[in-house]
A and B are shown apart, each in its own frame.
Chain A
């Protein structure tokens, strides 16, 4: 079956890509100016601790042995200790990952779906005021500089109007209070998520709307649409059952292609809103020279992007029978 072969090939490609990234990172950190020890050992550590680390990461060994040790450490999940937090890196990542997934995945699904629905509608109402207006609006918000939009939203909705919290993922009062129920806690998180999601949503939905709109217009010119009309189907059915499923395919593809771009936006958003996710961790660990954490955070984000790519491919294969059969 084509589908299985397709998935196997893609998974294989993703694994190889990740492996190359892993290797490049190794090379990069060994290329760092200065003592390679500084990339794994905190200057505040004792000599004993440094010696242990030296052995663990094989710094006294030839390069190729170091590399193998590096891979072995990776598989074991041994990423060293964060200089800043003084905790195993793995622990920190485990805490941050779900928060990034929560924010990023939710908003991506939202703006992809919104873009598709909106684009479909605009194609239908082509040439109308709504069409021109919304298309322009989508284009405009698409070109907003993300950090700037974030600052604006915080200023207006957080500071001036006080509707939303300015940062963080939870309000300590709510979460530390033993009387708060689950619902209250969930609402609290959503309340904090609102502005970050708004920023990501606004800067991304426009692109998808425009793509869907143009693929929809192309699709409506296809022969099978003429067939559907000839069969006497109502316009609504033609639009939703015949045109839209075909028009969505390139949109899904472009979702996959722009994942790298949206992850950048995700990291910026997390940083500005102090959302405790992987992106923010990467930025702060780089700023603080916390090499073990920075390296591992980057790897994890890369893995996340690659897996997302694979997921998008799976979704595409599911939607397009020409891939499956």
Chain B
């Protein structure tokens, strides 16, 4: 056993066996769903995600009912400070008299937006790099993986801080791009090892012998079979992105034109309401934690589907 194998934890195992080219997993979607369904944690996670998605969609409603419900600019003419929950304001108001509940809903929307976009970018880059590194090997592989090592070792939050010190206030979309550029490394390693094992499959060798171009092999044979893995890592990537944005907003470096859960926490912290307004302090934090939990559960359940070895064998007693 060389040191490479003993050093990396279970990340580098080949996920599943695919004998035929093409979208093997797509054909078995029904089967896979049945396996997924058996996992109570996975279902719980999925349920939570659905709830947050509904929240995100519902975020457009409150301002339509009454402009005072707008999360950023809506001000209740009768309230100018932070008050507790009431019939008019289900979760109370913040220090400016804005409705907390509608802020919470908007936060869900922002979380999904940022999370999914950033994760998509990170996974897209990571999959590309991983496939290229695994497929072409040698110098390209070494170079790309060294690059990945360097990127992985840097603390993302602090890098973004430094970037914001140089370039000033970062907008939401700047943030998405930067997070995408920082988070691809982990995915690329996993995709790379999957590519390595796919590379030696008989149908790939056959395609090569038949004269297929590298691009064709990569697109037609390798990519479809690493996609499930990419998808899996997207769920992990989403939480990363949401957490980084929340942390940045909390510290005061977020995009001031958006309302996110992290931003809400920043307001309560900076305006000294921490000790006086649990109705304001608790909801955003709970949401961030729950959405992280739900993505994690979904990710783990998907991992079980892809990696049969993880499935629990129930023994009779």
Contacts and interface: CB of A to CB of B under 8 A. Distances in A.
A and B touch in the complex (CB under 8 A): yes
Interface of A: 6, 13, 17, 20-21, 25, 28-29, 31-33, 39, 139-140, 143-149, 151-152, 154-155, 159-160, 211, 215, 249-250, 253-254, 257, 259-261, 263-264, 267-268, 271-272, 279, 282-283, 285-287, 289, 291, 294-295, 298, 301-302, 305-306, 309, 316, 320, 322-323
Contacts, number: 141
A145 B150 CA distance: 26
A298 B164 CA distance: 13
B243 interface: yes
Given A259-B153, A286-B161, 18 more contacts: A13-B149, A17-B153, A31-B166, A32-B167, A144-B285, A146-B247, A148-B265, A151-B268, A151-B269, A215-B9, A249-B6, A250-B9, A250-B10, A282-B161, A285-B165, A286-B165, A302-B154, A322-B6
Contact of A147 (B6, B8, B10, B265): B265
A32 B166 CA distance: 5
Contact of A152 (B3, B250, B281, B288): B281
Contacts of B149: 13, 17
Contact of A323 (B3, B243, B252): B3
A135 to B, nearest CB: 11
B153 A25 contact: no
Given A29-B166, A145-B285, A298 B153 contact: no
Contacts of B241: none
Interface in B233-272: 243-244, 246-247, 250-253, 262, 265, 268-269
Contact of A260 (B152, B285, B289): B152
Contacts of A257: 9, 152
Contacts of A279: 158
Contacts of A261: 155
Contacts of B289: 140, 143-145, 148
Interface string B1-38: 10100111110000000000000000000000000000
Given A32-B167, A264-B157, A147 B247 contact: yes
B62 to A, nearest CB: 23
Contacts of B293: 139-140, 143
- Most chain A beta-carbon neighbours within 10 Å: one of B10, B164, B166, B281: B166
20 contacts: A21-B150, A32-B167, A39-B166, A139-B293, A145-B243, A147-B246, A151-B274, A151-B281, A151-B285, A160-B275, A254-B9, A282-B158, A282-B162, A286-B253, A291-B165, A301-B155, A301-B158, A302-B154, A316-B7, A323-B6
Contacts of A291: 165
A143 B167 contact: no
A33 B161 contact: no
B275 A271 contact: no
A154 B268 CA distance: 14
Given A146-B247, A148-B265, A322-B1, A33 B167 contact: yes
Which applies to chain B's interface (DSSP): helix, strand, loop or mixed? helix
Contacts of A250: 9-10
B167 A295 contact: no
A279 B262 CA distance: 19
A298 B158 contact: yes
Interface of B: 1, 3, 6-10, 149-150, 152-158, 161-168, 243-244, 246-247, 250-253, 262, 265, 268-269, 274-275, 281, 284-285, 288-290, 292-293, 296
B159 to A, nearest CB: 8
A242 to B, nearest CB: 17
Contact of B164 (A21, A259, A286, A316): A286
A282 B161 CA distance: 8
A283 B161 CA distance: 7
Nearest to B7: A253
Nearest to A302: B154
B290 to A, nearest CB: 8
B265 A309 contact: no
A309 B153 contact: yes
Nearest to A141: B289
Report the 5 A-B pairs with minimum CB-CB distance, sorted nearest first: A148-B285, A250-B9, A264-B157, A286-B165, A145-B288
Contacts of B296: 139, 143
B150 A20 contact: yes
A279 B168 CA distance: 19
A305 B9 CA distance: 20
Contacts of B251: 268, 271, 283, 287
Given A148-B289, A152-B281, A257-B152, A294 B162 contact: yes
